[in-house]
Structure 1
Amino acid sequence: MGMRRFIGVDLAWGRTGARGRPNETGVAVVDAAGTVIDCGWTRGVDETIEWITRAAADGSASAFVDAPLAVDNPTGQRPCEREVGRRYGRWKVSANSTNLNSRHQAGVLVRGLLEEAGWTYDDGMHGPPDDGLVLSECYPYTTLVGAVELGYDLERPRYKRPGRRPQPGWRLARAQVCDGLIARLAGLAEADPPLRLASHPVSRRLMTEPSPERDAAYKHREDLIDALLCAWTAALWSRHGLARCQVLGEEVPATPGAAATIIAPARPEQRRARAGE
């Protein structure tokens, strides 16, 4: 894999938060040895673009973004989002709907700005690239249940915000689930490819400090976890390609090479049937 870097971005979908200030975006970059070169948070699209540009300074990087990067459907869900539910629904994983009427499309903006800066959007249909600056879409929940190394064999971990009527004590329960998830991420230090949380002071704090119960502090931590998951997914895709991952989306896209897809780690029982099977 040479000196290629793997960037993960848990992008805040909206341009601004509730108070007019952009929500935080989690960011992380790792190398082929699993070393966390840098990780942290940005605010706003411009700051995020600047961080990605710095992270890919050597000119060879794959960036996996948790946000819709290609949206061309007027209404409803994108085909790749429907496939998330079909392939991973048994593990309690589904995707939000995105279409041309959706208000929050920061991912499309980020893609356009990165393409202007020399990046290429890649839908994954032809396997992982081995050089250049390439941008693809991923979804951390599919990584959590699709990568056997993490051990979520039955359903996704409940580390996100609960539904409209959470049970008493849910914040403590959420923090405990998150601590369990971090322990599993730490176990990826011995995986292929590895992810070494202890290699950077910011990611190491995930291992040494308990997950907070307070919402704002918890969301701060959750965004970083998802960014690290995105970066590791990029490394997994580069290392194993279609042997470990599948490409969710239209089999015959309207725009070759630029289909709206999600690249997702997959167990054999989660895989889509190939055309003609």
Structure 2
Amino acid sequence: MGMERFIGIDLAWAQGGARRPNETGVAAIGGDGEVIDCGWTRGLDETTAWLAGTAVDGSTLVFVDAPLVVDNPTGQRPCERQVGQRYGRWKVSANSTNHRSARLAGVLLRERLQEAGWSYDDGRNGPPGGGLVLSECYPYTALVGAGELGYDLERPTYKRRPARVPAADWRAVRAQACDVLIARMAGLETADPPLLLSSHPVSRRLLEEPSPERAADYKHREDLIDALLCAWTAALWYRHGPERCQVLGADGLQPPGHAPTIIAPARPEQRRDHLAVSAVPRNGRGGR
């Protein structure tokens, strides 16, 4: 049957507790790149309800930007460590997650979805052929790992302030960088797979309105952008598999389908084999 729908969820990692949960960005696209639906939810109840109403039964792949499987008591998950090892040259790294982490909404989301009939897929056997499947991704790896977006040297400054940018200038610089990113995402309409930002009124506003500088308004936009990137990454993985993506954290001893992994778009120079070869001096001797 194959996959007909690709969904991205930029999940708020914290449940919210007594406070109202932060927004979660959500986006669903078809195989032709059409944005079927996109917007925002708050909390796991709203997110799972939106997902239930948006997924195509037996034919949906969901990529989530949040830790879905956390089995390490302390330290950093191997997939997070490998983000820094393989994408660090592009100024991309990942936060550490373990059993002591306070924000593990992704684990709760996975458990809820598995109870509802979804399957978690760690990617070690390649893209799934069908079903209701969720996997973990990280939008920053897509930005620098997908050559179509043109971030050949380093990640865009649409989220974290580089040390070279004065704090007083940061909001204006961030908004400008976000507009550049949106313009590059618009160029994905001719990519394989495509992403048609103009096909839905909510995503089309990204093209029509400049990015705001006010923090809350900006974060609102950023969550939607990341959700769309997650959805497109899911489509890229399904369409091209290991040819265009790599599975970070796939070296564990867990049974197939259960490892804590991140599926990440990758250029050849971001892959382990290339890094291992390039680390060997030309005289053939190892060293520090």
TM-score normalised over the length of structure 1? 0.95
- Equivalent residue, structure 2, for 1:73: 72
Structure 2 CA distance for aligned equivalents of residues 127 and 240 of structure 1: 10
- Equivalent residue, structure 1, for 2:174: 174
Deviations 1:11-53 (A, max 9, x none): 0000118x81000000000000000000000000110011111
Give 5+ residue unaligned stretches, structure 2: 278-288
Alignment of 1:205-244 (within 5 A): 205-244=205-244
User: How many residue pairs end up in the alignment?
Assistant: 275
Structure 1 CA distance for aligned equivalents of residues 166 and 8 of structure 2: 30
- Equivalent residue, structure 1, for 2:24: 25
Runs of 4+ in 1 over 4 A off after TM superposition: 163-166
Equivalent pair of 2:4/2:56 in contact (CA under 8 Å): no
In the TM superposition, what is the alpha-carbon distance from 1:55 to its structure 2 partner?
1.2
Distance of aligned partners of 1:179 and 1:58 in 2 relative to their CA distance in 1, 3 Å threshold:
same
- 1:116 maps to 2:120: no
- 1:90 maps to 2:74: no
Q: Percent identity?
A: 71
Alignment of 1:21-170 (within 5 A): 21-162=20-161, 166-170=166-170
In the TM superposition, what is the alpha-carbon distance from 1:161 to its structure 2 partner?
3.8
Deviations 1:213-243 (A, max 9, x none): 0000000000000000000000000000000
Give 5+ residue unaligned stretches, structure 1: none
SS at match of 1:99: coil
SS at match of 2:72: coil
Structure 1 CA distance for aligned equivalents of residues 189 and 50 of structure 2: 25
In the TM superposition, what is the alpha-carbon distance from 1:166 to its structure 2 partner?
4.7
- Equivalent residue, structure 2, for 1:204: 204
- Equivalent residue, structure 1, for 2:286: none
SS at match of 1:169: helix
Equivalent pair of 1:87/1:272 in contact (CA under 8 Å): yes
TM-score normalised over the length of structure 2? 0.92
Deviations 1:84-130 (A, max 9, x none): 00000000000000000000000000000000111000000000012
Letter in 2 for 1:158: T
- Equivalent residue, structure 2, for 1:10: 10
- Equivalent residue, structure 2, for 1:252: 252
SS at match of 2:124: coil
Equivalent pair of 1:3/1:31 in contact (CA under 8 Å): no
Structure 2 CA distance for aligned equivalents of residues 185 and 45 of structure 1: 28
Equivalent pair of 1:188/1:194 in contact (CA under 8 Å): yes
Distance of aligned partners of 1:2 and 1:122 in 2 relative to their CA distance in 1, 3 Å threshold:
closer
Deviations 1:121-141 (A, max 9, x none): 000000001210000000000
In the TM superposition, what is the alpha-carbon distance from 1:2 to its structure 2 partner?
5.5
SS at match of 1:273: helix
